Structure 1
Amino acid sequence: MNRFLLCTTLFISTLLTAQNIKSPSEFLGYELGTEFTRHYEVVDYYEYLAKVAKDRVQLTEYGQTNERRPLLLAYVSSAANISNLETIREEHLKSTEGSGNASKAIVWLSYNVHGNESVSTEASMQTIYELLTSKSSYLENTVVIMDPCINPDGRDRYSNWYNQYKNTPHQIDPNSKEHHEGWWSGRSNHYMFDLNRDWAWLTQAESQQRIKFYNKWMPHVHVDFHEQGVNNPYYFAPAAEPYHEVITNFQRDFQVTIGKNHAKYFDANGWFYFTKEIFDLFYPSYGDTYPTYNGAIGMTYEQGGSGRAGLGITTRIGDTLTLKDRIAHHHTTGLSTVEVAANNAGKLNTEFKKFYQRKNYKYKSYVLNGDSDKINALAKLLSHHEIEFGKGNNGTVKGFNYKTKTSGSLKMNENSLVVSTNQKKGTMVKVLFEPNAKLSDSLTYDITAWSLPYAYGLDAIASTTEISKTKFEPTSAQNSNLNKDTYAYVTDWNSMEDARFLGNLLKKGIKVRTSYSPFTLEGKSFKRGSLIITKADNQNHKDFIGTLQKVLQENSSIHLTSVETGFVDSGKDFGSSSVQMIKPSKVAVLSGAPTSTLRFGEIWHFFEQQLHYPVTILDTDYFKNVDLDNYDALILPGGWYGDFFNEDQLKKLKEWVSNGGNLIAMGGAIKAIDGEKGFSIKMKKVEKDSTDTNPMPHENWQRERVKNAITGAIFKVKVDNTHPLAYGYDQEYFTLKLGNDAYDYLENGNAVYLESNTKPVSGFAGSDAQKKIGKSLVFGVESYGSGNVIYMVDNPLFRGFWENGKLFFANALFMLN
């Protein structure tokens, strides 16, 4: 067949294919970009394509959201590749083991992780359509994996809101209602979590289900499609500094290659764009960094618009930005990405295999000791990421000590966890475990510290030698049949497993006491906060032993010690006033403006998905009409309260606390009730340096500003573990500080606090910020009448991943009766 005839045949074939497949506009019944497509309609279109082009599209439902919407992956490639898809996958994964002869480029395109950044899902439909028609040549040596909507719950929340409130026809005036979402925007998922910051921590159902399939494919290229402010032009790679030091030269260079290809198309259309600004590659839990640390070319693309833009809006310079414009831009970069990958399939495969060669990282092993529940929790996270780990052998390991930040040693035992960088996921291990990530630029987009030993509250050594290990088995308690004649059962209070156990007991009507003093009994020592379950307290429970046995089955890591007497060897007897009944707390949390959606969501998720304990949500719209006497505890999430609490509401709040209520004020909520307005806590004041009077050049203002910033840094703080708010903790704690808000010590009740040394152990804190936070409160309790005000300056529930902070929150609920 001559060249002309071949080209003609291919053209006719492509034309016939295009005629057989409906475009998104034809299928949906409206022109793409003139309406927001609801998620079920998007699913319908992808299912349609999988039916009419079943030789080139394979559709998989990889999970469901909290609101039961399907999560989909579409595999798109040539007919030959789709028929051989599993073989291609297996051959590709051999590259991570240093073998195989993979030849196909694997490109993963992720759309709509933020629900109200809704254009990308619309663009995905046009992109897959053209990959199957006019751009099908890209697929001969490329497999494209498309996730049309990572966050269906958030997307439908936005699209339904917009369809309800938009003008007809739509109004481009930025002041119109359709450009102003309410408090609960479509950005987050069901629990108001930001899914784009959950790739590493896997706290959310969407992330947990997606990572299983990501690990099955480990693509060469991953793109996360986003939107930014209305007045911003388009952003694409290469990314801004700081780049994490593990990112390879090839990964850096290929971002430039892709960016230049995008620029070619944008220049031809006269579209504006920017690169190398704002969006860096450092924090490991993004949709660009997480894939990068797993060998991919991970990139964020940002289109101007987001939830404000609607179907069209007037920008600052008087232009009209339409949904059609936004679709065109994301559609262009999506196709451009696949084009570059297709043209560089050989290079991508070669460099991907190189990425997985053994690397000579300084630390070869990380060894961790601590409470078995915390070890098990970390092991569970590592398993989700398919990171290999093992159990330590008896012996001593030397290296960098996380607690002292100096050389030290650690005695290993049968419960020690050992994680080596000499494994397939070795780079990810380094990033997640390194004591202090190297920061090339202090101007960053997110937090600068996250090291897992600090986050999980474990003793750790980073060793320059590889430590041998054996198979790890999660520890679980073995509780034999409980004796109904036992005087009492006692268990420790050290972890979230203990908090879940307590919450479960209280929900089932079993009475539990706690000891405010350490004690020894029958040869065993128990710390403050230990739980005591007596037969006498539960004699009226219709099935005390049976219920307790059932709760133990549901909380398998709990070990109960049965004791035959309440007469202790040392400490306070069980009848002492130092051994108090834990009251089943009826808890409410404030929601709605002025609380932060993210901060509220962390609390909501904590109760329903972590603690498994009931919580009532009170909205600010009707909060003033709520009888607070119905609740034992009220949580004020972080936010921007301003004058939300007027004089009458503050009076009501103070009366409720005085009558026995526990008020938990977090982050920004503290400012709403501080010493000038309600309670005694006072913002720390720092005198400005009067000698620093020289004017600052305008170009330096950002760098000057970071002197007063803390971008998610870890600090070692002191703990008064004799205080009920700090039961279960040692005398030191590592807190993740997210800003420079600082409060003076309380007169009493300083459970956790910073001393004068404020140099972070990990992450960035500006010099002025460090001065400000010296000798300041972290967590504390003010007694007020018969109740308490619990202040949480730092956020122990941040993004759901700071595991070691969560027991403070449980203490605030249960230990401050």
Structure 2
Amino acid sequence: MLKRFCWSLLLLFSQFAVAQNKTPDEFLGFPLGSKFAFHHQIVDYIKLLQSQNTDRVKLVQYGSSNEGRPLMVAFISSAENIANLEKIRTNHLKSIKLLDGKPDAATPPIVWMSYNVHGNESVSANTSMKVIYELLNKQNALTQDFLKNMVVMIDPCINPDGYDRYSQWYNRVQNATPDVTPFGLEHDEPWPGGRFNHYLFDLNRDWAWQTQKETKERIVLYNQWMPHFHADFHEMGHTRSYYFPPAARPFHKDVTAWQRQFNDLIGEYCRKYFDKNNWAYFTRYNYDLFYPSYGDTWPTVNGAIGVTYEQGGGGRAGLGIERKDEHDTLTLASRISHHYATSLATLEAVLSQKERIVSEMIKFHEDAVNAPAGSFKTYIVKAKGNEERIRSFGEWMTRQGFVYGIAGKTASTKGTELTTLNEQSFKIENNDLLISAYQPKSNLLRILFEPKPVLEDSVTYDVTSWGLAYLYGLKAYGLKEKLVPATYQAEKIENPIPATSPYAYLAQWSEVEHAAFLADLLKNGILVKSSNVPFDINKATYEAGTLIIPKKGNENLAFDKLVTSIATKHFVKLTPVQTGYVSNGADFGSDYIVSLKAPKVVAVTGDGISPTAIGAIWHYFEQQIGYPVTLVNGSRLSTLPWNEIDVLILPDGKYSDIINDKHLEALQNWIRNGGKLIAMERATDAFVGKQGFNLTKKFTDKKKDSDTFKKYGDQEREDAGDTSPGSMFQVTMDTTHPLSFGCGKEYFTLVRDAYEMDYLKDGWNVGYLTETGYKAGFVGNKMTGKLKNTLVMGVQDMGRGHVVYLLDDPVFRSMLYNGKILFSNAVFR
């Protein structure tokens, strides 16, 4: 009897032990909020909770960061829901027409909460542990009600590389007792900071464009679940309080009435927590719902309720920072409390509308399939001559979840050309891409194709123009009638070795893969040439910039096998020719045919340099064309072995402490001896008016006296009048200059600032803005004049070398397809 009693007691204690999850404090060995947990500790804690709650938690690794850290989502719900998780998912996708068939049961709301998309906004990842713990706390009736009625998805850290960059730095420099002095070392985060991912991209601007590894892998899972609600947790400057919805204007015009209504509802639930605790907050200011590539807007245009939460703090706040104006010290613990409160408020709001949030999303997608909004019911993208670009565009559309195909036949029709907005007659050809608006993601499709978004307010947070025809440099049309696509299959590129070894292979130059192909050839020691003029051969016309890979000079290689295999790898179609004679243009032995060498490329990084600018360059070389780039700290510029460098890239940044007069003299000597300097955006300021450099500012009229009288209350709008937060312009190009080769007849760019540079008096004005360049997006009234008749891209010859001035960043966020080709020209030509 005693033995049986002991076993019962042991069983009772073991059940109690399993039922009691470890708190974050117990697991970490320190109170949550007293120190930053490392990413692996957060992951290990969630793994522990899963092992103790296998019936209520399913942890999924959906990818890994560039530095190899796991990207995880924890599914948390009732035991019944977790057991039926796949059925819930498929029923949901069927209900919104993203899977064939009809659902056989109602679907609970699916709520995805994303923490720490910006690495140094580190309260978020730490908060996620507390949220998950409380969701699994069986003593909490409210959270158990959440699990019974919804599926909660928690991504504890979207950007683990940035998060650990910040937390490792902070944990190294923090005092034993946190120093709350604002100018202390632990509030002075070193360059580049933890905000960005490994390649220094802002992942919160990448939802639509999906250029980064982390984003691509996350969106795969997102599209497999299509949550009803997505919450994105952030931090802002430490002097501010807390932001939660309602969002600020402008709203994109296609944000639905229901989404706007729920935006207000979220605010009501958040206010209950904040008012009860006397916490400061603000709404309807600064954070809008316009640009469709954020963690709130991209889910919104996919039919979800998307919201942003912003806690005052950020990288400067550390574990605690004094705020004299507020008479308080902002601590990590208090920041965690605030994000924890809005996490619960989110789930409470969803619970209060659990049936409607599901039914509204079903309606959103049913309307998209049956009666899509907007005047265009079909989009046609011209394919001829852009086959590789179409391949890239198709891959991007697949990642978005769009359904598309080809026309499958020829026809004459009318449509609106999406860069000019002119209705015109044109011919649909068999292989043109055809995208019907009658599909579940029709709203996202329409918004991303949008050539001229309607802006209801001039004060905006980010880019105000993004039309796909502009970004991809493709000729596209919107049609008012419904057309049904035929099946699309990307052309399989093969380059068989010719029976007779050719005189040379020819390859077009108009795609990013062509640049990757060139990079691969050069890395393999293959001699590559290029024509600086168009030419005709064998009754075919080739544009200037065409690559010529001659047999002569490559005899010591397995020439045919190597060239054809590299071309096939990069989807490049080769044309073998048996002669160097052309019927029109320049023969292959003429001075117009130039050799392209494998340059040693160096790019400047470090203090003063824009992290995102150097990050875009770094990513372009390593991940897009696969060519080596050496990054050097700007402080070492004077000690570089100039004779070993062919190309020096100066990204956007402040160079006043990096380049002095002695540096300018050394740079000029290097350039005259054959070096190439590429100066981008604000880096060009270092050369304005300097002897030997031909860059000058435009003449600007002085302000009129009346301009000095303005109202204090109008300050924000007055400031907006002197901005261009990413507006679309068409650049007038000198298409005969090698810098423009392969960019087509129309080149568009996202203008984000006015550098007011005059045309080069002694140099090549390759790209410039005229009075008719504006296409779409917000441009302030004071900015308009600055963006007329101004240089955008120029080249100055200097001895045997060149200076390339790029006043607009062609690889900005990796968004502009033609920009990457232009940048390739700057580097290799």
TM-score w.r.t. the length of structure 2 is: 0.94
* Paired position in structure 1 for 2:497: 481
Give the residue type in structure 2 aligned to 1:357: E
> How many angstroms does 1:204 deviate by?
0.5
* Paired position in structure 2 for 1:89: 89
1:53-92 aligned at under 5 Å gives the runs: 53-92=53-92
Local SS of the residue matching 2:250: strand
> How many angstroms does 1:405 deviate by?
2.7
* Paired position in structure 2 for 1:32: 32
Contact 1:409–1:461 (CA<8 Å) still a contact in 2? no
Change (3 A) 1:396 1:690: same
Local SS of the residue matching 2:35: coil
* Paired position in structure 2 for 1:756: 771
* Paired position in structure 2 for 1:391: 406
* Paired position in structure 2 for 1:171: 179
> How many angstroms does 1:356 deviate by?
1.1
Give the residue type in structure 1 aligned to 2:122: S
Q: Does 1:625 align with 2:639?
A: yes
* Paired position in structure 2 for 1:9: none
Local SS of the residue matching 1:665: strand
For residue 322 of structure 1, the aligned residue among 331, 337, 344 is 331
> How many angstroms does 1:708 deviate by?
1.9
* Paired position in structure 1 for 2:738: 724
* Paired position in structure 1 for 2:300: 292
Change (3 A) 1:749 1:327: same
* Paired position in structure 1 for 2:382: 369
For residue 652 of structure 1, the aligned residue among 660, 666, 675 is 666
> How many angstroms does 1:546 deviate by?
2.1
> How many angstroms does 1:80 deviate by?
1.0
Give the residue type in structure 2 aligned to 1:258: I
User: Following TM superposition, where does structure 1 have runs of at least 4 consecutive aligned residues deviating by more than 3 angstroms?
Assistant: 15-19, 98-101, 691-694
> How many angstroms does 1:597 deviate by?
0.4
Give the residue type in structure 1 aligned to 2:684: I
Contact 1:287–1:298 (CA<8 Å) still a contact in 2? yes
Local SS of the residue matching 1:399: strand
* Paired position in structure 2 for 1:797: 811
Change (3 A) 1:403 1:267: closer
Give the residue type in structure 2 aligned to 1:488: A
d(CA) in 2 for partners of 1:775 and 1:643? 31
Q: Does 1:380 align with 2:395?
A: yes
1:734-745 aligned at under 5 Å gives the runs: 734-745=748-759
d(CA) in 1 for partners of 2:542 and 2:30? 69
> How many angstroms does 1:439 deviate by?
0.7
1:76-475 aligned at under 5 Å gives the runs: 76-97=76-97, 100=103, 101-133=105-137, 134=140, 135-317=143-325, 318-358=327-367, 359-370=372-383, 371-392=386-407, 393-475=409-491
Range moving further from structure 2, 475-484 or 461-470 = 475-484
Range moving further from structure 2, 259-268 or 390-399 = 390-399
Q: Does 1:612 align with 2:632?
A: no
* Paired position in structure 1 for 2:606: 592
Contact 2:501–2:560 (CA<8 Å) still a contact in 1? no
Give the residue type in structure 1 aligned to 2:106: A
d(CA) in 1 for partners of 2:348 and 2:275? 17
Contact 1:718–1:731 (CA<8 Å) still a contact in 2? no
d(CA) in 2 for partners of 1:740 and 1:765? 11
d(CA) in 2 for partners of 1:344 and 1:513? 65
d(CA) in 2 for partners of 1:116 and 1:807? 33
For residue 634 of structure 1, the aligned residue among 648, 655, 680 is 648
d(CA) in 2 for partners of 1:229 and 1:464? 47
d(CA) in 2 for partners of 1:484 and 1:25? 73
d(CA) in 1 for partners of 2:594 and 2:162? 44
> How many angstroms does 1:693 deviate by?
4.4
d(CA) in 2 for partners of 1:125 and 1:106? 19
* Paired position in structure 2 for 1:3: none
> How many angstroms does 1:83 deviate by?
0.8
* Paired position in structure 2 for 1:571: 585
Contact 1:95–1:352 (CA<8 Å) still a contact in 2? no
d(CA) in 2 for partners of 1:693 and 1:553? 61
After superposition, the C-alpha distances for 1:365-409 in whole angstroms (9 at most, x for unaligned) are 221114111111111101011111111231133222124332113
Range moving further from structure 2, 634-643 or 571-580 = 634-643
Q: Does 1:516 align with 2:527?
A: no
Contact 1:482–1:549 (CA<8 Å) still a contact in 2? no
Local SS of the residue matching 1:73: strand
After superposition, the C-alpha distances for 1:567-599 in whole angstroms (9 at most, x for unaligned) are 111111111111111111110000101110000
* Paired position in structure 2 for 1:5: none
Give the residue type in structure 2 aligned to 1:31: P
d(CA) in 1 for partners of 2:114 and 2:699? 46
Contact 1:742–1:793 (CA<8 Å) still a contact in 2? no
Contact 2:319–2:332 (CA<8 Å) still a contact in 1? yes
d(CA) in 2 for partners of 1:160 and 1:808? 38
Contact 1:231–1:316 (CA<8 Å) still a contact in 2? no
Give the residue type in structure 1 aligned to 2:669: E
Give the residue type in structure 2 aligned to 1:185: G
Structure 2 gaps, min length 5: 1-11
Give the residue type in structure 1 aligned to 2:550: T
* Paired position in structure 1 for 2:4: none
* Paired position in structure 2 for 1:6: none
After superposition, the C-alpha distances for 1:642-668 in whole angstroms (9 at most, x for unaligned) are 343111111111111111111001111
> How many angstroms does 1:453 deviate by?
0.8
* Paired position in structure 1 for 2:728: 714
Change (3 A) 1:459 1:185: same
Local SS of the residue matching 1:309: coil
d(CA) in 2 for partners of 1:188 and 1:730? 33
Local SS of the residue matching 1:520: strand
d(CA) in 1 for partners of 2:348 and 2:701? 58
d(CA) in 1 for partners of 2:309 and 2:18? 28
> How many angstroms does 1:724 deviate by?
0.6
* Paired position in structure 1 for 2:3: none
Structure 1 gaps, min length 5: 1-11
d(CA) in 1 for partners of 2:53 and 2:495? 57
Alignment size in residue pairs? 800
Give the residue type in structure 2 aligned to 1:60: V
Change (3 A) 1:18 1:344: farther
For residue 797 of structure 2, the aligned residue among 780, 783, 789 is 783
Local SS of the residue matching 2:452: coil
Give the residue type in structure 2 aligned to 1:627: P
d(CA) in 2 for partners of 1:253 and 1:536? 70
1:657-676 aligned at under 5 Å gives the runs: 657-676=671-690
> How many angstroms does 1:17 deviate by?
8.5
> How many angstroms does 1:316 deviate by?
4.0
d(CA) in 2 for partners of 1:508 and 1:287? 41
Change (3 A) 1:694 1:69: closer
After superposition, the C-alpha distances for 1:39-69 in whole angstroms (9 at most, x for unaligned) are 1101110000110011100001111111110
Sequence identity (%): 43
Change (3 A) 1:570 1:144: same
* Paired position in structure 2 for 1:507: 523
Local SS of the residue matching 2:167: helix
> How many angstroms does 1:689 deviate by?
5.2
Local SS of the residue matching 1:307: coil
Give the residue type in structure 2 aligned to 1:369: K
* Paired position in structure 1 for 2:5: none
Contact 1:93–1:218 (CA<8 Å) still a contact in 2? yes
Local SS of the residue matching 1:580: strand
d(CA) in 1 for partners of 2:115 and 2:504? 55
Local SS of the residue matching 1:94: helix
d(CA) in 2 for partners of 1:652 and 1:243? 51
Local SS of the residue matching 2:96: helix
Give the residue type in structure 2 aligned to 1:474: A
Give the residue type in structure 2 aligned to 1:749: W
